[in-house]
Structure 1
Amino acid sequence: MVSSKIIIYQVFTRLYGNKNTTRKEDGTLAENGCGKLNDFTPTVLKKIRAMGVSHIWYTGVIRHATQTDYSAYGIPRQHPAVVKGKAGSPYAITDYYDIDPDLAVDIPNRMAEFEALIERSHKAGLKVIIDFVPNHVARQYHSICAPEGVKDLGEEDNTQNGFDPQNNFYYCPGQRFTPYFDLYHGESEPYVEEPAKATGNDCFHNAPGMNDWYETVKLNYGLDYYAGRVGHFNPIPNTWDKMTDILLFWAAKGVDGFRCDMAEMVPAAFWHWATDKVKFRYPEVVFIGEVYNPAEYRNYLGAGFDYLYDKVGMYDVVRDVMCGRQSAHAITGAWQATDDIRQHMLYFLENHDEQRIASQFFAGDARKGIPGLVVSALLQQNPLMIYFGQEYGETGMDKEGFSGQDGRTTIFDYWSVDSIVRAASRKYTIREKYLFDIYNKVMNIAASEKAVAQGQMFDLMYVNGQYHRQYIFMRKAGAEVLLVVANFDDLPAEVNVTIPAHAFDFLGIKEKNAVATDLLSGSKLKLSLKRDGVIPISVSPLGAIVLKFKA
């Protein structure tokens, strides 16, 4: 049993510390600026830790494809035809053993700057998570920082075979890469790839389209897609060893966990092999899997993952409840679907892939996320993830460049995030300060209350069926009880909470009069605790009440 709740704060590293407000659409690094690893000072990290955060996920620190030219530093230049955006996607890795030069103040010493960041993070009481991108790499992948004796990906491939169990890539023998777009992209020479490699989103031909992950190539873990996904895992495929060594390389530097991109696109057999080897050497390292198919959840947990995204379930349902498309009762069904693995499900409301709550594509108002935050943070013992700027109501409505105006904060462009820039100089708007104070309280309740990290949960919706815009549940550990009511309605709610006899028996609560404290407001409320009794509670619009009392 975990002793404290894991709360992950995801930062998009190149954006977080950037205070340049030029924000020219499709601007260069020189025009729009870029955040650095050194922007995460002890003061900044202390502030993040003070929100109740236990882990910080530095997104996009490994060197990836970019249109910025670093060839003066011996870093291979990428052809712009196969880079999305001026800054490039952090999920198109060009060297698994290198740190992205955009993030360094002193580029030749970029790895030392990252090692210093790990040390600063640990001193601040934060564990460090980075991305591990196992399914695909940039089209022009080439490691210049691999340890001596490590062969590059594809270096020993037999490119005459579309599939070979010991190849690192899949090929289209005799065919040149001919995607839908212009291969010159303003350059004097076109991008040339022959034979064409399969594209990252399981596109096994030479002509990926606009919606394909055309800037990436698929890694081969011994699955023969040309023969219907037949696995060739004995002998161990070469890619397995190479990728496991990469995990061990970063774990040796003090990285505490890996968020594994599109984990379900890589066979579970590999994960079983790799996580076993990493955890043998580094038992405390955690693996978080981006897995979207609920039918595969238990398979990947069995293969060594500690936590999985609860996207196709809790996220989708809470989003629908926020937007008025589903009743709050649907949340009960969402947690019940994964009840046997509940401690392994990672709850979140925003990340780099999803739209911002405050965007016009989602709720249009960050305050509508408050009841969803309370439910996501306090319902179970499992981890919670917050995306930087979420705590200030960042809208994600900028038209940054390649990203376009899509309600997301760009991962492709050089940019700065308005709310984060203001927060850095303490020039919050009234609404940002209001929202931050609530996030800070809820996250710290989740981090510090024993009933949340270790306690049992009792869902009260089945005896409070008349409420469709409020979600009601209890948590208990030892003698400490929390009664939580989250109001998804934009009107005040007068809720008569029924607590059934079964809840008294299940949680071990005695009938009595108690004085409860609302952990969000500090106000006191007298409760008459009776089996099948009713407790009247007033909840503010888009608000919540978290009543703590002794059993």
Structure 2
Amino acid sequence: MSAMYKRKSNHKHQQLSFLAVACSVFLVGACSPSNPQHSSNDNTTAKLMASKQQTILATHPHAAQGEGKPVVYQVFTRLFGNTNETSKPWGTLAENGVGKFSDFDDTALQSIKELGASYIWYTGVPHHAVINDYTEFGISLDDPDVVKGRAGSPYAVKDYYNVNPDLADDPANRLAEFEALITRTHAQQLKVIIDIVPNHVARDYRSLSKPEGVYDFGENDNTEVEYARDNNFYYVVGESFKVPVGENGYQALGGESHPLADGKFNETPAKWTGNGAREAQPSFNDWYETVKVNYGVKPDGSYDFDTLPAEYANKSLAEHAAFWQGKSVPDSWIKFEQIVHYWLDKGVDGFRYDMAEMVPVEFWSYLNSSIKAKNPEAFLLAEVYNPSLYRDYLKLGKMDYLYDKVEFYDSLKLLMQGKSDAQPLEDIQLALADIELHMLHFLENHDEQRIASEDFAGSAEKGKPAMVVSALISKSPTMLYFGQDVGEDGSEETGFGDPTRTTIFDYAGVPAHQRYMNKGKFDGAASSESEKHLRAFYERLMKISATHPTMLGKYQSLHSLNVKNAQDDSVNSYSGSQFSFVRWNENKALVVISNFSEDNLPSVTVNLPISLLTQWKLNEGEYSAIDLLNGFAYKMKVARKRSGASVRVQLNALQSVVLEIDLNEQAQ
């Protein structure tokens, strides 16, 4: 990742170096990225894909109420409803404003549903460290020397049994206000996801709201030893914590005076830092605002708990739960089990697990089988960046979904930037065919650069073909980040860190989203024309993703076949800058063609392989092909004896077509 975001990061933007540490100390398996084989022969590709897909479920475990698949809408909760346009760097809550739970009224929730959403991931809900005075509510002050930004990182959780007081109209009633939000969300037929951050907690973790019989992290630790299995933290024995030295003139709160901003933080003995740094004074680029949680992994990387036999990759959730029944497990495992059950009891429908691969897979078997015993429909999404570990965390760890970031998202980003062609997309889908259902797709989230930012694509329009491919290529859920649908560019300088990513550390407004929100009307009346058109595009696309029956059907790439065919056809404009595939079930087919080029293409012919025509049992003639995205009508031509088929379209710059074909239609 860029040097800029090393400073801004809470938890993963020095990704490669941190994962190397994690893989060598805390994880099972090699840490080399997978290398999908390139497929040059269409028939071979189809056969390999069919073979790999044999184990995939016919229906989606979390399918939407229609016939499509889940859409997760991620909101950064404290920014979503904020109408204040000041956005002063390092501005206070009073100066820059903050969004509230109450901003998610029926109108707001309906606007989210219009994007096909079935789940809302409310990011930043658990009470994390903030620079605000809530002492009248019994909440201790947080020290700016170990808080990133003024509003604080949502990944430095201070109290897992309550919610961020910034988000409440009445901080004393904050938990009840979140419970009311859960009720409102459910009333709109939407489900609720919140964050669980298993790898680390805030340096000053203390829960005011923990249930009877629950103890704080570290409360009963033996601090005279570096490690003990049932300690929640690791300790630098005999040394006190030292605040890291800032870089490039950095000062907490931008240099503003604060009674606790003195370059000191009282912690004796010092604890290991969240990314595994073991020094009493971590680097400024370490996750110094957090402390690493101990899961029974000794400092040498060996395990102090029962390992999970390899055959459990093929065993049920009930069998996983039975495996752990009666076994002694580290105290931190029990604490997180108590936390997730607490939130399940309040109506939360699922969890997004931060940096799950930095926690042993056995813990996930223990936790997730426990969750599913309480709520079999719970939605479990994990951030895992190492492709060699994907199957372990799905099959042994019993995750529902993982980010498809390192392979699919990264390849799409390079294609959008003009640094690669489209072939890797076909190769990746083939390599992941056995688990594609479980690989969540996205183009934006709170960690990634905004599409419209200069460092990514420089234009939200360049996200259109990528979003079509990302949303429609697989059975996996699609995720949208708030503001993505109106082209938010993340260009504001807000305090901790630099632009391109909408801040997760400071109070701010989000301009393009604020224009769409229009003072709470959520009607887009204040949006620019380009923003209105982009929002309409996202609504049409995500409706297809969320409801079209072919989304749970079969897939085949058409790309390499058509690149090869176009080489022998001087009229056909198809190239490595386009990407095409087909999705189908027994009744319908979608032929998807996306143009990543900024050139208009007057004639693009996409050929379909004979194998598909045989499966579809189509006869010679013409079939209607209606573009669901743009409303145009095309024809697919099938040659004699199903010897071939093709459809010819015109594609403008960055345009996609999604052609629906009725497989029961009689040829014309």
Alignment TM-score, normalising by the size of structure 2: 0.80
In 2 relative to 1, CA 510–403 (structure 1 residues): closer, same or farther, beyond 3 Å?
A: farther
CA distance in 2, matches of 1:506, 1:321: 32
Instruction: Report the number of matched residues.
Output: 548
What's the CA shift for 1:129? 0.6
Structure-to-structure mapping, 1:272-421, within 5 angstroms: 272-302=365-395, 303-405=397-499, 407-421=500-514
The residue type paired with residue 257 of structure 1 is G
What's the CA shift for 1:143? 0.5
The residue type paired with residue 537 of structure 2 is I
Identity %: 45
SS for the counterpart of 1:155 is: coil
User: In the alignment, what sits opposite 1:258?
Assistant: 351
Residues 69 and 546, structure 2, Cα contact 8 Å, conserved in 1: yes
SS for the counterpart of 2:480 is: strand
Residue 463 (1) aligns with residue 561 (2): yes
Residue 427 (1) aligns with residue 526 (2): yes
CA distance in 1, matches of 2:514, 2:147: 27
What's the CA shift for 1:191? 1.4
Residues 317 and 334, structure 1, Cα contact 8 Å, conserved in 2: no
Residues 476 and 507, structure 1, Cα contact 8 Å, conserved in 2: no
User: In the alignment, what sits opposite 2:140?
Assistant: 76
The residue type paired with residue 65 of structure 1 is A
What's the CA shift for 1:69? 1.4
**1:532 paired residue among 638, 644, 666:** 644
User: In the alignment, what sits opposite 2:313?
Assistant: none
CA distance in 1, matches of 2:190, 2:184: 9
User: In the alignment, what sits opposite 1:436?
Assistant: 535
CA distance in 2, matches of 1:229, 1:64: 31
CA distance in 2, matches of 1:11, 1:393: 15
What is the CA RMSD across the aligned residues, in angstroms? 1.5
**1:519 paired residue among 628, 631, 634:** 628
Deviations 1:416-470 (A, max 9, x none): 1001110011201011011111111100011111012x11111111211241111
CA distance in 2, matches of 1:507, 1:325: 37
Residues 234 and 293, structure 2, Cα contact 8 Å, conserved in 1: yes
**2:609 paired residue among 497, 500, 504:** 500
- The structure where strand makes up a greater share of residues is 1
**2:592 paired residue among 444, 461, 484:** 484
What's the CA shift for 1:43? 1.1
What's the CA shift for 1:179? 3.5
Residue 99 (1) aligns with residue 163 (2): yes
Residues 14 and 35, structure 1, Cα contact 8 Å, conserved in 2: yes
What's the CA shift for 1:534? 3.2
Residues 290 and 308, structure 1, Cα contact 8 Å, conserved in 2: yes
Deviations 1:489-537 (A, max 9, x none): 1111221111110222345544431112110111211221233233221
**Can you give the 5+ residue segments of structure 2 that lack an aligned partner in the other structure?**
1-58, 253-257, 307-326, 519-524, 567-574, 664-668
CA distance in 1, matches of 2:303, 2:330: 13
SS for the counterpart of 2:328 is: coil
Deviations 1:180-213 (A, max 9, x none): 2389964366311110000000112211111100
CA distance in 2, matches of 1:315, 1:509: 35
Residues 636 and 645, structure 2, Cα contact 8 Å, conserved in 1: no
Residues 485 and 535, structure 2, Cα contact 8 Å, conserved in 1: yes
SS for the counterpart of 2:434 is: helix
User: In the alignment, what sits opposite 1:543?
Assistant: 655
CA distance in 2, matches of 1:203, 1:387: 31
User: In the alignment, what sits opposite 1:448?
Assistant: 547
Residue 220 (1) aligns with residue 220 (2): no
Deviations 1:377-408 (A, max 9, x none): 11111100000000001001111101322x00
The residue type paired with residue 543 of structure 1 is Q
Residues 274 and 287, structure 2, Cα contact 8 Å, conserved in 1: yes
The residue type paired with residue 192 of structure 1 is N
CA distance in 2, matches of 1:28, 1:385: 31
Deviations 1:304-335 (A, max 9, x none): 10000000110000111111111111111121
Residues 6 and 447, structure 1, Cα contact 8 Å, conserved in 2: yes
Residues 86 and 414, structure 1, Cα contact 8 Å, conserved in 2: yes
User: In the alignment, what sits opposite 1:269?
Assistant: 362
CA distance in 2, matches of 1:207, 1:57: 34
What's the CA shift for 1:361? 0.7
The residue type paired with residue 346 of structure 2 is K
User: In the alignment, what sits opposite 2:274?
Assistant: 200
Residues 161 and 209, structure 2, Cα contact 8 Å, conserved in 1: yes
Higher relative contact order (CA 8 A, sep 6+): 2
Tell me which moved more, 529-538 or 100-109: 529-538
Tell me which moved more, 94-103 or 463-472: 463-472
SS for the counterpart of 1:326 is: coil
**Can you give the 5+ residue segments of structure 1 that lack an aligned partner in the other structure?**
none
User: In the alignment, what sits opposite 2:36?
Assistant: none
What's the CA shift for 1:337? 2.3
CA distance in 1, matches of 2:164, 2:638: 58
CA distance in 2, matches of 1:512, 1:47: 43
CA distance in 2, matches of 1:231, 1:537: 61
**1:147 paired residue among 182, 191, 211:** 211
CA distance in 1, matches of 2:239, 2:617: 69
SS for the counterpart of 2:185 is: helix
Residues 162 and 209, structure 2, Cα contact 8 Å, conserved in 1: yes
What's the CA shift for 1:51? 1.5
**2:259 paired residue among 187, 211, 229:** 187
Residues 403 and 411, structure 1, Cα contact 8 Å, conserved in 2: no
CA distance in 2, matches of 1:187, 1:209: 24
Deviations 1:273-315 (A, max 9, x none): 0111111011111110000000110111021100000001100
**2:581 paired residue among 466, 473, 485:** 473
Residues 459 and 472, structure 1, Cα contact 8 Å, conserved in 2: yes
What's the CA shift for 1:39? 0.0
The residue type paired with residue 539 of structure 2 is N
The residue type paired with residue 533 of structure 1 is A
What's the CA shift for 1:362? 0.2
